């Protein structure tokens, strides 16, 4: 009962109207929204989440800042418009926006290599090797969307500071600044594809991802006018977590048909509500946690990572995880056949959430923020897989911000090492 009352209270202060928030600039309301969305969304049980949400009310806001409380910048704020673009483009593919399916108007050429499997999916955009960073926009601003203390920096600055590089293995590395002590924000990256797409198959091959107390990395995508264009969080977690979480945030009307993993045909488990609407859920959305204990963080890194494949088609949106040792041959061959992959970790069926009404014109994003309304809010919490001991206990530092600012060496593992990101579209023939 107490849980229910708390939940209603959080819903009462929840809103998706940014102007409402700026009119009422009380940090308390804003923080309640932050905590409501991120903490409910992302922790083990509702009671646990709500307790954390209330702890979240005490998070300090930076005075005078006009923060949005959602993960998204407005699409005009980072130059995200348009498709095609990237120097890494394999073709001049453009995505059709018309309803029912994902199509390319200019089919990509067949990928080179030993593809021996027939697949309707063709590479439309490929980011890998020495040209990995071509075709991404670098956000050059503080993390204003999730209240993190990351300072996102532009490409030249990141290169000069060795925050990004293509390493000797040919992989793209995206680090967090490891300067021992900083007084304000710690440098990090947030990059967004210039290419936009509606439907498709997005395959990330990562060798390493950021991990450790204070970190909050994500590989995700979103559309215009959040939450109207939808948000798909493909890979996300905080601190020492070892199990990935996939989450949708949408306009009102997108739900999941069941909370039962068997009915959803998934290996993961639903964390909170089946309602994916940001407005209905105090921005929580609908999240599914992977059951694989090596699907995120240090445990993922220990196995040299693996592949995340997100299928967005007429059947809905599903996310598959394959550890490095079990990557299907059809993926390696650039001829993916999702129907052969077995159960996904997460699945959001089209039956109760139209994948082309609630999601369109997405761009894919990598970021690593620090603290903020998830990693910071759960700093003193334990119990989520990978987090047997809270970060407060493990570091002996009372707040996430103090730890992040005072201990740069702790961020030596806070890096993405990405072999490739490939975005496939259905061939039109």
Ligand X SMILES: *[C@@H]1O[C@H](CO)[C@@H](O)[C@H](O)[C@H]1NC(C)=O
Which residues does the annotation mark as catalytic? 231, 236
Site stretch for ligand X (CB under 6 A), options 70-78, 282-290, 379-387, 413-421: 70-78
**Residue 38: which of 52, 22, 18, 24 has the closest Cα?**
52
Interactions with ligand X, residue window 191-220 (CB under 6 A): none
Count of CA atoms in the C-beta half-sphere (13 A) of 113: 14
Q: ω before 227 within 30° of 0 (cis)?
A: yes
Q: Of 148 and 229, which has the nearer Cβ to ligand X?
A: 229
- Decide if residue 74 touches ligand X (CB under 6 A): yes
Site stretch for ligand X (CB under 6 A), options 138-146, 286-294, 381-389, 403-411: 403-411
- Decide if residue 106 touches ligand X (CB under 6 A): no
- Decide if residue 97 touches ligand X (CB under 6 A): yes
**Residue 403: which of 381, 379, 382 has the closest Cα?**
379
Our measurement of the distance from residue 94's CA atom to the centroid of its chain's CA atoms, rounded to an integer in Å, reads 24
Q: Of 48 and 357, which has the nearer Cβ to ligand X?
A: 357
Q: How far is the CB of 97 from ligand X (least distance, A)?
A: 5
| Encoded tokens for 59 | 């998070």
| Encoded tokens for 20 | 């409402």
> H or E segment at 365?
strand 363-370
- Decide if residue 224 touches ligand X (CB under 6 A): yes
Q: Of 112 and 116, which has the nearer Cβ to ligand X?
A: 116
- Decide if residue 361 touches ligand X (CB under 6 A): yes
Of positions 50, 71, 254, 410, contacts ligand X by CB under 6 A: 410
Binding residues for ligand X, total number by CB under 6 A: 16
Q: Of 130 and 412, which has the nearer Cβ to ligand X?
A: 412
Supply the angle between the helices 2-13 and 27-42 in degrees, to the nearest 10.
Answer: 130
Sign of torsion over alpha carbons 146, 151, 157, 163: negative
Of positions 76, 98, 112, 183, contacts ligand X by CB under 6 A: 76
Site stretch for ligand X (CB under 6 A), options 35-43, 69-77, 278-286, 319-327: 69-77
- Decide if residue 268 touches ligand X (CB under 6 A): no
Q: How far is CA 123 from CA 86, 422, 428, in A?
A: 14, 7, 12
DSSP state of 227: T
- Decide if residue 77 touches ligand X (CB under 6 A): yes
Rounded Cα distance between 84 and 194, Å, is: 7
Rounded Cα distance between 146 and 71, Å, is: 6
- Decide if residue 61 touches ligand X (CB under 6 A): no
Whether 259 contacts 229, CB under 8 Å: no
- Decide if residue 250 touches ligand X (CB under 6 A): no
Site stretch for ligand X (CB under 6 A), options 129-137, 151-159, 231-239, 406-414: 406-414
Rounded Cα distance between 197 and 423, Å, is: 9
**Residue 230: which of 291, 316, 105 has the closest Cα?**
316
- Decide if residue 98 touches ligand X (CB under 6 A): no
What Rg, from alpha-carbon coordinates, does the chain have? Answer: 20
Of positions 116, 168, 183, 325, contacts ligand X by CB under 6 A: 116
Task: Show the site string, 285-324: x = touches ligand X by CB under 6 A, - = not.
Answer: ----------------------------------------
Q: Of 108 and 392, which has the nearer Cβ to ligand X?
A: 392
Q: Which residues bind ligand X (CB under 6 A)?
A: 74, 76-77, 83, 97, 114, 116, 224, 265, 342-343, 361, 395, 407, 409-410
């Amino acid at each position: 009962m107490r849980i229910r009352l708390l939940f209603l209270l959080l819903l009462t202060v929840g809103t998706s109207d940014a102007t409402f928030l700026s009119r009422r600039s009380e940090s308390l309301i804003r923080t309640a929204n932050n905590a409501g969305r991120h903490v409910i969304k992302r922790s083990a049980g509702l009671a646990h989440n709500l307790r954390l949400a209330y702890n979240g009310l005490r998070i300090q806001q930076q005075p005078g800042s006009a923060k949005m409380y959602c993960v998204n910048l407005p699409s005009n704020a980072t130059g995200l418009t348009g498709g095609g673009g990237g120097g890494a483009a394999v073709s001049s593919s453009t995505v059709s926006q018309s309803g029912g399916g994902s199509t390319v108007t200019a089919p990509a050429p067949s990928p080179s290599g030993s593809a021996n499997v027939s697949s309707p999916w063709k590479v439309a955009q490929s980011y890998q090797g020495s040209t990995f960073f071509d075709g991404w926009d670098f956000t050059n601003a503080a993390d204003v969307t999730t209240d993190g203390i990351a300072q996102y920096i532009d490409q030249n600055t990141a290169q000069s500071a060795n925050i990004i590089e293509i390493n000797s293995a040919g992989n793209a590395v995206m680090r967090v600044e490891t300067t021992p002590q900083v007084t304000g924000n710690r440098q990090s990256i947030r990059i967004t594809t210039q290419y936009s797409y509606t439907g498709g198959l997005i395959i990330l091959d990562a060798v390493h991802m950021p991990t450790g107390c204070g970190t909050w990395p994500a590989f995700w995508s979103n559309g215009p006018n959040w939450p109207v264009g939808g948000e798909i969080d493909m890979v996300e977690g905080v601190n020492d977590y070892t199990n990935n979480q996939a989450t949708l945030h949408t306009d009102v009307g997108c739900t999941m048909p069941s909370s039962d993993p068997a009915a959803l045909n998934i290996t993961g488990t639903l964390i909170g509500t089946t309602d994916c609407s940001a407005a209905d859920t105090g921005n929580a959305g609908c999240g599914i946690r992977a059951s694989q204990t090596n699907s995120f963080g240090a445990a993922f890194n220990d196995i040299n990572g693996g592949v995340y494949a997100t299928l967005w088609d007429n059947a809905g949106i599903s996310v598959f995880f394959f550890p490095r040792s079990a990557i299907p041959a059809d993926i390696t061959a650039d001829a993916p056949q999702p129907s052969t992959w077995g159960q996904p970790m997460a699945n959001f069926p089209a039956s109760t959430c139209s994948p082309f009404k609630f999601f369109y014109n997405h761009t894919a994003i990598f970021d690593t923020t620090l603290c903020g309304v998830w990693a910071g809010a759960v700093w003193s919490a334990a119990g989520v897989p990978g987090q047997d001991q809270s970060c407060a206990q493990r570091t002996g530092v009372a707040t996430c911000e103090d730890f992040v600012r005072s201990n740069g060496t702790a961020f030596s593992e806070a890096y993405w090492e990405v072999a490739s990101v490939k975005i496939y579209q259905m061939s039109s023939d």
